[in-house]
Structure 1
């Protein structure tokens, strides 16, 4: 029996989420800056996904196991310890981007960083735009 996805788009206000969830002023400022950048780079407005992910656009995925669902093209979460950045970092081109991105740690499914000041924003832009292009080519369509 298929399990229901926990991380789905919600109607929660992104602005209200940041103002109530993010405690440190610098992280709040970085969150709003990242929203502006990802909106520009993706062409989509921010939406809440689950209780703490801010996503831009959507794509549909289906695994070989049959599990499928929708996910944001780009996303981030301003978690207490660090930001979690959700992008697709695959292939040689993206490894070149990661090598020049700045100070971060790589997780299984995301990139962790403490502050936007620690990242090369022009490289982050290329990584984000590459993600949107990759998913658009792989999935054939992306939506809002």
Structure 2
């Protein structure tokens, strides 16, 4: 996920309407509802990322910036679910999620119809709460298993 991304004033609905393939657009619509319920916030575009809320990070190196506290991005190959507290933080729930691949701070989901959306909601909720509590200071890679 890009660091310190500028928020774009483009309309989220128009962005989602342009997403291809159709399966990715369908998944984005599901995620808009899920993330809205979890965060209680309206979505904003941060470049090509649909984000909710904000999180200011500051690393020990002095690097700092702003990024969404919860976010996803519908990409052609898969939908990226950004977990800035680190994918490894959620290892127990991931065993029940269904098929996925991952990086340090991202889950990649190819088809939400075969993932457990209840488990995904638990993961997104836990990550959002951790990042908005004002106490999270680690980098995602420190929580990657």
Residue equivalent to 1:100: 96
Q: Unmatched 5+ residue regions in structure 1?
A: none
Question: 1:15 is paired with a residue of what secondary structure?
Answer: helix
Encode CA deviations 1:61-111: one digit per residue, 9 max, x unaligned. 1011111111111111110111111023343xx211111111000113211
With over 3 angstroms needed to count, the CA separation of the structure-2 counterparts of 1:90 and 1:42, relative to structure 1, is farther
Output the TM-score relative to the length of structure 2. Answer: 0.83
Encode CA deviations 1:1-20: one digit per residue, 9 max, x unaligned. xxxx5622221111111112
The correspondence for 1:67, drawn from 63, 66, 69, is 63
Matched, 1:76 2:86: no
Alignment of 1:34-53 (within 5 A): 34-50=31-47, 52-53=48-49
Output the TM-score relative to the length of structure 1. Answer: 0.84
Q: Unmatched 5+ residue regions in structure 2?
A: 137-145
Residue equivalent to 1:19: 17
Separation (CA, whole Å) in 1 of partners of 2:54 and 2:42? 11
- 4+ residue segments displaced more than 4 Å: none
Separation (CA, whole Å) in 2 of partners of 1:100 and 1:137? 26
Count of residues in Structure 1 that have an aligned counterpart in Structure 2? 132
Residue equivalent to 1:58: 54
